[in-house]
Amino acid sequence: MNILAIESSCDETAAAVVRDGRTVLSNCVSSQIEMHTIYGGVVPEIASRKHVEAVTALADQAVEQAGLTCANLDAVAVTYAPGLIGAVLVGVNFAKGAAMALDLPLIPVHHVRGHIAANYLTHPDLEPPFVCLCVSGGTTAIVDVRSYTDMAVLGGTRDDAAGECFDKVARVLGIGYPGGGPMDRLAAGGDDRKYDLPQAHVSGHELDMSFSGLKTASLNLIHNAQQKGEELDLPSFAASFGRAVSQSLVPRAMAASRKLGYGKVAVAGGVAANSRIRADLQAACAQSGDKLFLPELRYCGDNGAMIGCQGYYEFLAGHTAGAELNAYATRDISLG
Ligand code: ATP
Ligand code: MG
Ligand code: FE
């Protein structure tokens, strides 16, 4: 089954063709990062307009690179939530039009379910159930992946997402947007104990997290150093920051895995590319005996292939939609 998948929830327009959920025939991404860099973050209205400009040519390109024509497609999958509402609407309306014109089923896909599915593309042997640590620009959640389409959130952030926290701190340091990658690279060679940064606990909810305190403490530390004219040891600051984020995430993911006893842990989303988090998960799983699944770096950030993969499993579960399909800025992952 060949699925054309469309993703437009944030600042990347993406289109891909995926066969039977696991074989990526093409994966085209058009990033808007350069456009938003001058503003230090995504400008929603600009994002929507850029998606409109890119989506049709990108879908054509994905079909062509797959070595197919539209006649060989069997369904159209699309991210319908969560994301910037104007941006998601562009993909949803394009996918609706394509499905209608080609007389194909339309499959709505939850973006974070797509991030989780990136693991299936990297690991042909991976099947649910497993615990997945979902960490990206807008999401920080520990998910019980009971089956391909039955999921529940076990815990998550009470405020900022981990990726958002990376981005805001990096912006104040002036090291680029989005900031997670630059912070990760900067941390290499730094002393991760040099700066004492707070890690919050949510009392009574051992799997929940909070990153706003870490963000504020980091921004205060940077501003205070700037005011006093003190030179911040940037690699050590980035390493200390990465350690604080990882120590909030990894022990909780492992606690969730102990609780559920599947013996399988995965990680998903843009922040899953972080080398400190990957290393800490590796060490924790080596100790606990859990099998660890890390998505390839090219499938960590937003892409169409992950939507085509999850779309296949949603289709098998009968989750298709008609012209009434709407886009949502927020949506619980358990709702599909
Ligand atoms: P969501 O998936 O929650 O809707 P999003 O789609 O905007 O949000 P992604 O594109 O999946 O988020 O991930 C982007 C985030 O990943 C950004 O916050 C970015 O800084 C972060 N990121 C990318 N690479 C790294 C890295 N190596 N270390 C830490 N963070 C990273
Ligand atoms: Mg993105
Ligand atoms: Fe994402």
Residue 165: HSE in the Cβ half-sphere, 13 Å Cα cutoff: 29
Spatial contact of 78 and 59, defined as CB atoms under 8 Å apart: no
Of the pLDDT bands very low, low, confident and very high (cuts 50, 70, 90), residue 34 is confident
CA 284 – CA 282 distance, rounded (Å): 6
- Could you report the per-residue pLDDT of 39-53, keeping only the tens digit for each? 888 999 999 999 999
Q: Which of 293, 306, 40 is nearest to 168 (CA)?
A: 40
Ligand 1 mutation pick, 111, 241, 271, max ligand atoms within 8 A of CB:
271
- Could you report the per-residue pLDDT of 113-167, keeping only the tens digit for each? 999 999 999 999 999 999 999 999 999 999 999 999 999 999 999 999 999 999 9
Q: Which of 21, 255, 298, 304 is nearest to 133 (CA)?
A: 255
pLDDT of residue 39: 87
295 lines ligand 1 (CB under 6 A): no
**What is the location of CATH 3.30.420.40 in the chain?**
2-115+300-335, 127-298
Spatial contact of 50 and 14, defined as CB atoms under 8 Å apart: no
163 lines ligand 1 (CB under 6 A): yes
The Å distance, Cα 285 to ligand 3 centre, comes to 25
- For residue 172, give the amino acid letter: V
Spatial contact of 4 and 62, defined as CB atoms under 8 Å apart: yes
Q: Is 138 annotated as a binding residue?
A: yes
DSSP 280-300: HHHHHHHHH-PEEE---GGGT
CA 67 – CA 335 distance, rounded (Å): 34
Spatial contact of 210 and 157, defined as CB atoms under 8 Å apart: yes
Any idea which fold 2-115+300-335 has? Nucleotidyltransferase; domain 5 (3.30.420)
181 lines ligand 1 (CB under 6 A): yes
User: Tokens in use for 321?
Assistant: 């939609």
Could you say which ligand is closest to the alpha carbon of residue 161?
Answer: 1
CA 49 – CA 86 distance, rounded (Å): 9
Total Cβ atoms within 10 A of residue 220: 10
Architecture of domain 127-298: 2-Layer Sandwich (3.30)
User: Tokens in use for 191?
Assistant: 């002393």
- Could you report the per-residue pLDDT of 52-84, keeping only the tens digit for each? 999 999 999 999 999 999 999 999 999 999 999
83 lines ligand 1 (CB under 6 A): yes
Answer whether 0.80 is exceeded by the pTM: yes
What's the length of the chain? 336
Q: Which of 140, 183, 137, 141 is nearest to 164 (CA)?
A: 137
pLDDT at residue 241 greater than cutoff 90:
yes
Protein residue with least CA distance to atom 20, ligand 1: 180
Spatial contact of 163 and 269, defined as CB atoms under 8 Å apart: yes
The Å distance, Cα 108 to ligand 3 centre, comes to 16
Q: Is 302 annotated as a binding residue?
A: yes
Ligand 1 mutation pick, 79, 166, 243, 297, max ligand atoms within 8 A of CB:
166
